Structure 1
Amino acid sequence: MADVLTPRQRSRCMARIRGKNTRPEIVIRKKLWSLGLRYRVNYKLPGRPDVVFVSRRLAIFIDGCFWHRCPLHYQSPATNRLFWETKINSNVQRDGDVDAQLAREGWTVLRFWEHEVKNDPDRVIQSILTQVRGQQ
């Protein structure tokens, strides 16, 4: 199946995809902040977690359904399939490596899917609160 966009249009669309400060990340950060929880962003840890509670050694990632192969929502692209499969496979492998490295260093890692934040952000917040309060 051929791409419906020209290479220039496709390039422009792909360039607009954010790697950080995505809508789901901002939703979670605003809710945590409104609850009085203070955290770090852009904290230098392997994998660059989206939210970090340094004193609690808690790293939180919010993974995009496409980029990290969500078991519910991932659909393999129809065009340039080899490139995308290689790219997504390496993302998934890297996620596992990052989780293992952070665990070895004494960090707790929480990962949430983009769709979890969109569908039920309060449940995501509750999971984070449980972890934060459980470590105090």
Structure 2
Amino acid sequence: MGTVYGIVHQVQNGRIDLDIARQNVNEEALHWSSRDLPNLGYFASTGSGHAQLPISSACVRITLLPKTAAWWWGLPSSKRIVASVTEEWLTDDATSRRMRATRSSGSTLELAMRRELTLAGLRYRLQFRPEPDMRHRADFVFIRPRVIVDLRGCYWHGCEAHCIPPKRNAPRWQEKFAHNRARDRRIVKELESRGWTVIVVWEHDDLRVAASVVARVVRNRRTRAANRGSGRRSSFEA
């Protein structure tokens, strides 16, 4: 993941022709990209150069910056661009469309789950970091009962029932999905070790049923906490 800064010279025959001024893409990403874009491997060591990006297969988003002052080397501001490299590898058009549609917040799945949790009478923190020293932002956090709800799309989180890796660069995609699954397990284990109850809701789950489960767990945890505070034993405790 990273950002490439450059100047667009032309867009012709399905290719973006640009000069690279500065970039923040890690070397591993450049290494894998260089399979189909040999010139990109050059930037790993020099940080500048020239490249042609095939629009049809490269996951690249071009955005014109505001027309204010000229860029730092004096080129016309109308030509300034930011090319946001949304993935480490090139892939097919269908996967590119899926990647462009991916949102870190406000997704269709999140909005649907928000609606169900609200109908269940629950109030929550949205996109909240439950532990300050962890980078993970949970989708829904119930702070006092210490309950977390994490949503997982079947594709990016590697659902074993519904995730079908792209055929192009298949080994690398399989490695990515395996890494994502391992990361998710590691995050859940760490949060549980700190006293959080983590409920995972998949894209293929019935969200109404999932919301009812979340509501039951949250209320049970609140009852336990209240009973511990009053010295009474909860009927939910073993």
Deviation string, structure 1 residues 79-120 (Cα, Å, up to 9, x no partner): 11122112111110110110011011110000011011xxx2
Residue ranges of structure 2 left out of the alignment (5+ in a row): 1-54, 60-92, 223-238
Rg larger for: 2
Cα displacement (A) at 1:78: 0.9
Paired with 2:151 and 2:172, the residues of 1 have a C-alpha distance of 23
Q: 2:104 aligns with which of 19, 25, 28?
A: 19
Q: TM-score, normalised by structure 2?
A: 0.50
User: Partner letter of residue 6 of structure 1?
Assistant: S
Cα displacement (A) at 1:20: 2.2
Cα displacement (A) at 1:36: 2.8
Paired with 2:100 and 2:149, the residues of 1 have a C-alpha distance of 25
Structure 1 residue 52 corresponds to structure 2 residue 141: yes
- Give aligned pairs, total: 129
Where do residues 108-123 of structure 1 align in structure 2 (5 Å cutoff)? 108-116=197-205, 120-123=206-209
Residue ranges of structure 1 left out of the alignment (5+ in a row): none
Paired with 2:202 and 2:120, the residues of 1 have a C-alpha distance of 22
Q: 1:6 aligns with which of 33, 38, 56?
A: 56
Task: Report the equivalent of 1:40.
Answer: 125
Q: Percent identity?
A: 30
Residues 1:63 and 1:82: Cα distance change in structure 2 (over 3 Å): same
User: Partner letter of residue 210 of structure 2?
Assistant: V
Task: Report the equivalent of 2:177.
Answer: 88
Task: Report the equivalent of 2:219.
Answer: 133
Paired with 2:146 and 2:110, the residues of 1 have a C-alpha distance of 19
**2:125 is paired with a residue of what secondary structure?**
coil
What's the Cα RMSD here?
A: 2.0
Which structure dedicates a bigger proportion of its chain to strand?
2
Q: TM-score, normalised by structure 1?
A: 0.84
Which structure dedicates a bigger proportion of its chain to helix?
1
Paired with 1:70 and 1:32, the residues of 2 have a C-alpha distance of 23
Which stretch of structure 1 is more off in the superposition, 71-80 or 52-61?
71-80
Task: Report the equivalent of 2:194.
Answer: 105
**2:128 is paired with a residue of what secondary structure?**
coil
